[in-house]
A = this chain, B = another copy of it.
Amino acid sequence: MGVKKISIYDIAKHFQIAKSTVSFIINGKAEERRISKELEKRVLGYVEEIGFKPHYLARSLATGKSNSIGLIVENIGDSFFGPIALKIEERAKSMGYRVVYSSTLGNTQEAIDILKLFRETQVDGYIIVPPVGMEEAVEEVMREGKPVVVFDRMLDGVQVDYIGTNNQEITYAACMHLVEEGFKNIGFVTLDSSQSQMVERLNGYKQAIDQNNGNEVVLSVNYCSNRSDYKNEIKQFLQEHQQVDALFFATNYLCVAGLETLRDLQKHIPEDIGVAVFDENDLFRLFDPAITTIEQPLEDLSKAIFQTLQKRILRGSNRVVYTKKIIPSRLIVRQSTIRRK
């Protein structure tokens, strides 16, 4: 089965020359190695003719570079991570890298296993959206000298490049906007997680509430794959906190569950309850009423991620100061929060 693959050795044999010569020619080092133009042309012609492609793994084994980067996200099917993965992939491709991806679904052990697997595959660099508890695993990878960029959430106490957004500031802005619109009791629906981006968003909320002498009303749910669990928790939360007149959702999928719940409860947005959410997508834009969202700039984020990673790949991981790059998000105000009294 399959055609026996031709190797550099076969080409060498064909011309009665050494395979090193062939290798040099193929890698564009003919001139530098002072190989005659004539031989170069003949070999290149033959390579073209038979459609020879060097064996990727063999090359990687010899050079120690795999030309691939490992992307570990929470969920490739998510309306935030999916599109950003697309952007990352596009950039990677344009620089000659392939992307190996994996979704953690928030599971730490899973994430650690994935990291191990990638490590064994010799990826040249990592882009990681880490669940909590990955500190050690990431440090281990870095100790091996591999470039790592942590994205979306920070890793506590780990010296590593990080790209994120102004979670606290923009959440604060969103909540202040709610206050200005006359909402008095803003509930905050988030994940029960110590992930930095969640903590920051919560802090932004608290900051706004405190400043207005309001009540903090927070629902923290466990990350799970099941939407109906989210719905039940939100429903119960709303029943226990009848006074709540607005909800801020800290992630898009929580908001999806929230919108369903509000519809089930026949609560009208924004008359009965205001709604805003972190992350933008088609649903929020086209929902009736359109939902006020916080939009992360995918293009800028992916650009920053990739530039940072590449710098590391080129420079090596040591000796350089680690950067924390914050790309600001944008508050998009829509009808779901407009209720001027």
Task: Looking at the assembled complex, report how far the CB atom of A221 sits from the nearest CB atom of chain B, in whole angstroms.
Answer: 18
What per-residue 1/0 map shows which CB atoms of A265-288 lie under 8 Å from chain B? 000000000000000011100111
Chain B residues closer than 8 Å to A223, beta-carbon distance: none
Nearest B-chain residue to A59, judged by Cβ: B120
Q: A53 CA to B119 CA in the complex, in Å?
A: 9
Whether A318 pairs with B1 at a CB distance below 8 angstroms is yes
Whether B286 pairs with A1 at a CB distance below 8 angstroms is no
Partner of A100, one of B100, B144, B259: B100
What per-residue 1/0 map shows which CB atoms of A297-341 lie under 8 Å from chain B? 000000000000000000011100000000000000000000000
Chain B residues closer than 8 Å to A122, beta-carbon distance: 55-57
Listed residue (A93, A145, A260) with the most chain B CB atoms within 10 angstroms of its CB: A93
Q: A236 CA to B118 CA in the complex, in Å?
A: 49
Within 8 A of B (CB), among A70-106: 75-79, 82-86, 89-90, 93, 98-103
Chain B residues closer than 8 Å to A75, beta-carbon distance: 86
Task: Looking at the assembled complex, report how far the CB atom of A131 sits from the nearest CB atom of chain B, in whole angstroms.
Answer: 16
Nearest B-chain residue to A88, judged by Cβ: B76
Query: For the complex, is A117 an interface residue (Cβ under 8 Å from B)?
Result: yes
Whether B98 pairs with A99 at a CB distance below 8 angstroms is no
Whether B93 pairs with A85 at a CB distance below 8 angstroms is no
Chain B residues closer than 8 Å to A101, beta-carbon distance: 89, 99-101
Whether A120 pairs with B317 at a CB distance below 8 angstroms is no
Chain B residues closer than 8 Å to A194, beta-carbon distance: none
Q: Given contacts A68-B121, A281-B283, could you give 6 more A-B pairs where the C-beta distance is less than 8 Å?
A: A3-B144, A56-B120, A76-B76, A76-B86, A89-B102, A263-B286
